[in-house]
Chain A
């Protein structure tokens, strides 16, 4: 404590002492859960008048010395409703029972860039996920993975089952058609973090069509979910408007764990388990008749029949699906954290190591992370904080997905490989040629490499200072900033002896990629809070104005070597050396913002705000764009006329906001590209042109809803309706390709997302022996293009002959269409499905038995979404789909029948599913036992077993209905080509708190 305060305090104490010399008393008490009677450990007890405070011990007991004869204690505990309690020297023993805050009314939610609001006063449906909900049941490898099914209005889709993830997160429907970022902005402790998917160039080695098919993970995977205290999701513009031009796809605000004053707490956790394939499809058998139909010509026909007969005779028929996807991966996750501090300085230090093997051998995801979060009060009025995190990630993702002509996709290759193929290596380890495809998948698994290595440092710094304090007003300044440095190195390698390499002129192929990314952001806010007593009750005013800047820099080098010296992976050891990419990016965003909040006695809470933004990504880089917002919440139960006691809360709320979406880097430059021909350097004009009137995409959202809490929080219900309109959507005007220009990016469309989000939380039983909480969520979104000023078009996929997405007024951009053209042109092509689900539901349950046992599970249901199942198209072509041989009715095999139909008709398929996302059973060792055995050294021991994706029901004929060959995309996200199959994971958990 610095001098001014110490002086003040001393003076206050002196004044008190002069009145009642040496008056002092001690209060002792126990704090328990009102329903279960369970002791609450670490609850805070605080006397505002004297500044005295303490926390409860592992028995839930506390003791506090207070001056004078009486005091009003504030008792708080996370997840419980805070109370005030009068104590006096006459009544020094108290028992305090806290009521669980089931509806999270007291939870604090960030609404401005430097201010928070209690959930009960919130005008938006901001979803919050706590550490317990995030990592309490299973130990998820990545954050996006941990959120699946837990948030209404949030559509999270994994692109594949590869270790290290790769996710598509869409908040409230479609927010861009691909020009802008389809992914939310992630802000961690105030730092705008990099969540990009960095291309390692795998597609260039395997012959796939583009970097989207590299099957990369998004870089949120680098963050350790165990470090997270809470996640808030600002799903739409009405909540996220204060983030302006970066917020069209929503904002995810992540807060990491912090230390609190009190005893030092040490927590150690170990998860150990395994992963195995969730859903193998099976493969069709072969017979001579089938072989004859596949190989009608001699001499191949006789050769194949001979191969088949030999395999049958020697018993060498194989299930190659099981051979390649049948690995049982070992999982281990260790976390240790130490936290504590005092009133002046608090710390949280943690270390974690996650290691995960995939269901394909030689694939893995390892991540080590260290974190140090510090808070220090220089004086009571000047507070600083620092959050540092260092991460090292090693991800080996293998070879799956699309390829062309290299066999550089395991699934693709086995789709064409019959069971009688002989692919196993000889005693010297030489793999035979696969006569059915461009490579031997077992050789690819054993010898090809696809390794990514990420080094990352994220740092944030904050300063808050109260510049002026009046009677009921405070003027403070908050400066926050930080950086996210991400260094990415990858290597994709095909050794020279692989079959596909032997088929090239320079066998042996390697691509090295180095990517350096630095994001920095700085934000300064002036905040003025003023409480007024008016004739109609208290009026609390909060004003903020500020400035924010966000800079991004990227340097990228990608080198390729072909014709490698055996065993070597260095570019210098190759005959043909090429630079695939060497480029820089620089982006600067600037914003100014202001917000005014008025809270009338927690009855009516109104907010208006606005932001002015500019970005170097815009065509006119110094133009500012205006993003307003306004909201109103009415707590009906707080009005005097409301007398129904059963209602704890009845809130009506409405909110409106606007946000922006920026073009991608380079889209506003009319560039000449370098080419080389016969030793001459050439410059070529792009086939894209630019519209000089281009403006950012703009989303406008109106949401309204109600929050109801009954029966002391045992039943709560929340309902929200939103209408999110995205205007000025940037699309390519498809100019006639005869002009040499195939597209001009222009503001060409408007789309509307209408959706509802419902949540029902029931806590029917809360007794000391048994408690049960159940959470039912339902959400549904419908998108429609309401205006299109360019010609109707299709996009994505592998063209309209295999099924892709319609772009036409009156239809959702997620509509899956295919040939033939329709007669009427309404729609232009035949509709086969929709990538967007009709609705999603989730059902989570938490059951506690005898205080010691806890059982959790979460079901997630997605209904009515479709995929383009091109993997079945491939297995049908190769005669390997599980039901290929089945009679389709008229004697033709199923596989032939599907192939003979138009592919969109056969292969656009219903991909609805129900998944048991999480299930966990935990046992907490009784406190009495711990005190007896360890003498209070160990506060808590928890043992458990958990599973993720243990069970799935789906109508879909693929490994997992959650799949995207093209990776994270705005629209093009439901195409399935031989992606890495999903796994089920089982973990055993031990957690000790000291």
Chain B
């Protein structure tokens, strides 16, 4: 019958069709949108290595700048007046008495000072691995990458280390974190600082053997440090910052000397402001997250803590330059501030990472603490370089405690909003009780995050 023939014919055609194309055995579908990690783990190209290095600079910016409002609020440099989520004010200022940062393992937005910097460390590890497994670089070029990656990585460890404190049970950090399923043990605060500085030293050695130029580009924020020789200077400046947390005053002075000419004992705004910055250029890059138009009619804004205004010396140019008095105060949960951050001209203004002004004050502090020979007088001179720059009368004292108090006061205004210095300084000098409470709590450190504790339980380390 014709019908049977026709049907059979159609069926046969269909079957041949199946066999002819990949209808029944299609090819593997690869990620159409992104390269794979595996592509850079072996024989990465110079272009890919540049991308990984820029990726590291991006992660480094994200974690460092991202932590500023958190640490700044804990140290009462800011009011986090992000009204859409009451937890910023309630938890960061400790207004909610039920929630204590020192014990709450899910403290609000604490990932910013833990998982985010560790994300930068992960990126640094990927870059290190890629550099070590490629034949595309000369040894000098490879050393340049290694020195850069290790310096950034070392700095990133500082963020969780300093914010999670010295508490024997919950303080310290993990240092060996390359294998997500076999993380290394927690190490103490002091050991953490030692390891960070050792890594900085290692990076310095790499940079010393990296020839005269990097094989990769850095952003303009690091324009003064874009060769191996100048990046060493930045590396030493970071070591100087780290040294004061370790109370290694001699080491701090030594590193500052190695950080010359970035470290410069002179006055003037330009001298104070030279240093390393995080740049923002708008899409496809990001905007400066802390820029708010003056008088912005919003309730989602980071405000200056009023104590900064109340405690200021009359005529302090830093106050004029950094704090803008609004027409209307912003009021939330009964707290009020009339001042917003005035440091940035636009949403593409850079955010400081480390400036000479900080190095001068590190120098002053290290000298005052060491207090040998002319050290105290040197410290006072350094303080006055800063004060004169900002239009303030010179400070004079021969009392070491007074000098140190003055240094902390200058750090408060000179370094406001740059690294959570006020909080970290108050912890170092046990002055947390001097911070205004705003009716809330002042925390000494932030509890170890939930994922670390659950992992320890899960891995059986707590049994």
Contact = CB atoms under 8 A, between A and B. Distances in A.
Interface string A565-604: 0000000000011110001111110100000000000000
A19 interface: no
Interface string B289-305: 00111001111110000
A519 interface: no
Nearest to A298: B336
Interface string B363-383: 000000000000000000000
Tell me if A's interface is mostly helix, strand, loop or mixed: mixed
Contact of A438 (B177, B298, B334): B298
Contacts of A590: 24-26
B55 A740 contact: no
Interface stretch (B83-91, B230-238, B248-256, B315-323): B83-91
Contact of A736 (B34, B174, B283, B298): B174
A542 B99 CA distance: 66
A431 B451 CA distance: 47
Contacts of B104: 819
A3 B91 CA distance: 85
Contact of A791 (B38, B292, B298, B454): B454
Given A405-B298, A677-B279, A820 B98 contact: yes
A524 B59 contact: no
A738 B173 contact: yes
Contacts of A295: 331
A73 to B, nearest CB: 29
A333 B10 CA distance: 44
B220 interface: yes
Contacts of A379: 3
A846 to B, nearest CB: 46
Contact of B36 (A381, A416, A670, A742): A670
Contact of B334 (A297, A622, A742, A902): A297
Contacts of B123: 684-685, 740
Interface string B273-295: 00000011111110100011100
Interface in A396-421: 403-406, 412, 416
Given A506-B347, A738-B183, A682 B51 contact: yes
Contact of B26 (A583, A616, A798, A801): A616
Interface string B33-59: 111111110000000101111111111
B311 interface: no
B322 to A, nearest CB: 19
B391 interface: no
Interface stretch (B106-114, B207-215, B395-403, B423-431): B106-114
B455 A734 contact: yes
Contacts of A560: 283
Interface in B174-196: 174, 177-181, 183
Contacts of B301: 405, 503
B121 interface: yes
B106 A799 contact: yes
B346 interface: yes
Interface string B102-129: 0010101001001100111111011000
Interface in B1-47: 1-4, 6-8, 10-11, 14, 18, 23-26, 28-40
Contacts of A524: 14
A502 to B, nearest CB: 6
A800 B1 CA distance: 73
A990 B82 CA distance: 53
B57 A680 contact: yes
Given A678-B219, A737-B118, A740-B118, A669 B36 contact: yes
B57 A736 contact: no
Interface in A298-328: 300
Interface string A680-718: 111111110100000000000000000000000000000
Contacts of B219: 677-680
Nearest to B119: A740
B60 to A, nearest CB: 9
A504 interface: yes
Interface string A524-560: 1000000000000000000000010100000000001
A748 to B, nearest CB: 11
Interface residues of A, number: 101
B122 A685 contact: yes
Interface string B125-143: 1100000000000000000
Contact of A477 (B11, B86, B179): B11
A2 interface: yes
Given A477-B7, A669-B34, A296 B115 contact: no
Given A505-B293, A792-B454, A381 B3 contact: yes
A467 B11 contact: yes
Contact of B177 (A674, A738, A790): A738
Contact of B33 (A207, A300, A671): A671
Contact of A584 (B33, B160, B181): B33
B35 A687 contact: no
Given A500-B298, A503-B296, A669-B34, A622 B28 contact: yes
Contacts of A90: none
Nearest to B52: A683
Given A586-B32, A681-B54, A683-B35, A467 B4 contact: yes
A382 interface: yes
A902 B104 CA distance: 14
A468 interface: yes
Nearest to B277: A678
A146 B386 CA distance: 73
Contact of A735 (B87, B91, B173, B181): B181
Interface in A761-799: 790-793, 798-799
Contacts of B282: 576
B458 A740 contact: no
B293 A741 contact: no
A802 B83 CA distance: 16
B84 A404 contact: yes
Contacts of A51: none
Interface string A607-627: 000000000100001100000
A585 B32 contact: yes
A670 B38 contact: yes
Interface string A377-390: 00101100000000
B438 interface: no
A621 B1 contact: no
Contact of B57 (A405, A463, A576, A682): A682
A295 B335 CA distance: 9
Contacts of A671: 31, 33-37
B452 interface: yes
B247 interface: no
A282 interface: no
* Residue of B23, B25, B114, B125 with highest tally of chain A CB at under 10 A: B23
A261 interface: no
Which 8 A-B pairs rank lowest in CB-CB distance, beginning with the nearest? A405-B300, A740-B122, A578-B283, A678-B219, A682-B54, A682-B55, A503-B296, A737-B115
Given A379-B3, A578-B284, A677-B279, 19 more contacts: A405-B83, A406-B300, A468-B4, A503-B296, A505-B291, A505-B347, A585-B32, A671-B33, A677-B54, A679-B285, A681-B51, A682-B52, A689-B180, A737-B449, A738-B118, A740-B119, A740-B120, A790-B458, A819-B104
23 contacts: A295-B331, A404-B82, A405-B299, A412-B84, A500-B298, A504-B296, A505-B347, A576-B283, A583-B33, A590-B25, A616-B26, A671-B37, A672-B36, A675-B54, A675-B55, A676-B284, A680-B54, A682-B57, A683-B35, A687-B122, A735-B451, A736-B180, A799-B87
Interface of B: 1-4, 6-8, 10-11, 14, 18, 23-26, 28-40, 48, 50-59, 61, 82-87, 91, 98-99, 104, 106, 108, 111, 114-115, 118-123, 125-126, 160, 173-174, 177-181, 183, 217-221, 279-285, 287, 291-293, 296-301, 328-329, 331, 334, 336, 346-347, 449, 451-452, 454-455, 457-458
